[in-house]
Amino acid sequence: MKIIDLRSDTVTLPTDEMREAIFRAELGDDVYGEDPTVRRLEGLAAGILGKEAALLVASGTMGNLVSVLTHCGRGDEAILGDRSHIFLNEVGGISALGGVVPHVVPNQPDGTMRIPDVLAAIRAENIHYPRTRLLCLENTHNVCAGAALKPSYLDEVETVARSHRLFLHLDGARIFNAAVALKVDVQRLTRLADSVNVCLSKGLSAPVGSIVCGSQDFIDRARKIRKMLGGGMRQAGIIAAAGIVALTRMTDRIEEDHRNARRLAEGLADIPGLAIDADSVTTNILYIAADPAVISHEELLERLKQRGIRILPRDAGRFRMVTHSGIDRADIDTALGAFREILKSAKK
């Protein structure tokens, strides 16, 4: 039985081209700056994202942590969305390891933070207050149904950041999904940020790794923070080789994931006992809720698992599903058939 794993796009496996690139990668010691494959990946990523320099890190969480710690000192404050990945899903690292104070602002359903809320969160100069130093955005926004932040909103936020002398960090784990959904060049979404973190191991199918981009000075300082966190990976070209393939081969197929997500969302919306806003699904992430009066959440998960379908339970009785390169149209139809059968039998 084929496993249809919709829990996350982190379950993607490297392509045959990636495996071949890993096998043939030219290697050196990256801590000494001598791994040619890492240097090639970093140069490629910086060029694609419109930045001066880039840094390979082990994960998106490390990328965000390195970025925040490079921008902020101990006791500084960072403004974050209350549903952002940095705030919810990174183990409080910016506080535990960097002494950075999170100031959370409500995320709206479209992933934005209201500009008046952001302005209200910026501290005035006062001996009693931490210094507001950094503003963080997430694009696409995971918990907000994979919403893509529009360029016009990014322009507004950038104006606020500059006028208050704040740094702007973009958690762009799925930034290429945002660019595809909005039909803009990715640099239109990254050019205003002081730092950008992009995951290679989600929808781009690399087995491990993320890239942090910014100015040369920022990356020079971030490299030292990466070392402090244990991120000196030595012959990291075996990781970078797959990342090069990810950036040069895998971004062009992202629209297929979006089509599959929309097909899945529209099909689920027609099944009694399930709740989903299909119109909100614009990238590769969707959230559903099951009516507990029809079927318990535990039973739904178990019965799907028996059919080889995996989805991710989240907060408040919701489930997340994410399409990716390991999922095709036939898999979507199989999953929809399973949901229909399970919900139909549960109502009897």
What CATH number is attached to the domain comprising 302? Answer: 3.90.1150.10
Cα–Cα distance between 111 and 177 in angstroms, integer?
14
Domain-located, residue 6: no
Shared domain for 120 and 98, answered yes or no, is yes
Domain range enclosing 326: 253-346
Shared domain for 238 and 118, answered yes or no, is yes
Domain-located, residue 4: no
Domain-located, residue 5: no
User: What is the average pLDDT across 136-163?
Assistant: 97
Domain boundary among 183, 217, 249: 249
Q: Give the phi and the psi of residue 307 in degrees, each rounded to 5.
A: -95, 10
3-state secondary structure of 265: helix
Domain boundary among 249, 265, 284: 249
Handedness of CA 294, 298, 303, 307 (dihedral sign): positive
pLDDT band at 82 (very low <50, low <70, confident <90, very high): very high
Shared domain for 166 and 79, answered yes or no, is yes
Query: What's the chain's average pLDDT?
Result: 97
pTM as predicted: 0.96
The residue written with tokens 């909005």 in the block is 182
Q: Give yes or no for residue 201 having a pLDDT over 60.
A: yes
Q: What per-residue string of b and e applies to 135-149 under the rule 16 or more CB within 10 Å gives b?
A: bbbbbbbbbbbbbbb
The answer for residues whose C-beta is within 8 angstroms of residue 52's C-beta and 6 or more apart is 46, 214, 215, 216, 219
The residue written with tokens 């606020």 in the block is 160
Shared domain for 194 and 259, answered yes or no, is no
The residue written with tokens 């500009």 in the block is 115
Q: Which helix (H) or strand (E) holds 115?
A: helix 115-121
Helix axes 297-306, 329-346, angle to 10 degrees: 130
Q: Give the phi and the psi of residue 66 in degrees, each rounded to 5.
A: -55, -45
Q: Tally the domains of the chain.
A: 2
Domain-located, residue 171: yes
According to the model, what pLDDT value does residue 194 have? 98
The answer for residues whose C-beta is within 8 angstroms of residue 205's C-beta and 6 or more apart is 12, 13, 14, 15, 18, 246, 250, 324, 325
Tokens of 60: 């998106």
Domain-located, residue 110: yes
pLDDT band at 65 (very low <50, low <70, confident <90, very high): very high
CATH number of the structural domain spanning residue 111 = 3.40.640.10
According to the model, what pLDDT value does residue 32 have? 96
Report the candidate in 225, 251, 190 with the shortest Cα–Cα distance to residue 58. Answer: 225
Shared domain for 243 and 286, answered yes or no, is no
Cα–Cα distance between 86 and 42 in angstroms, integer?
23
Shared domain for 209 and 267, answered yes or no, is no
Shared domain for 56 and 199, answered yes or no, is yes
Number of CB atoms found within 10 A of residue 60's CB: 27
Shared domain for 172 and 44, answered yes or no, is yes
Domain boundary among 249, 278, 305: 249
Say how far residue 140 (Cα) sits from the centre of its chain: 6
Shared domain for 230 and 268, answered yes or no, is no
3-state secondary structure of 135: strand
Shared domain for 269 and 157, answered yes or no, is no
Tokens of 253: 């197929």
Domain-located, residue 320: yes
pLDDT band at 348 (very low <50, low <70, confident <90, very high): low
Domain-located, residue 1: no
Shared domain for 104 and 238, answered yes or no, is yes
Percent of the chain with pLDDT over 70: 99
Cα–Cα distance between 166 and 132 in angstroms, integer?
7
User: What is the average pLDDT across 176-201?
Assistant: 98
User: What is the average pLDDT across 10-39?
Assistant: 97
Q: Report in angstroms the alpha-carbon separations of 162 from 69, 134, 218, 296.
A: 19, 11, 17, 49
Say how far residue 260 (Cα) sits from the centre of its chain: 19
Shared domain for 146 and 295, answered yes or no, is no
Domain-located, residue 323: yes
3-state secondary structure of 153: helix
The burial class, CB within 10 Å (0-12 / 13-18 / 19+), for 347 is exposed
Tokens of 11: 């379950």
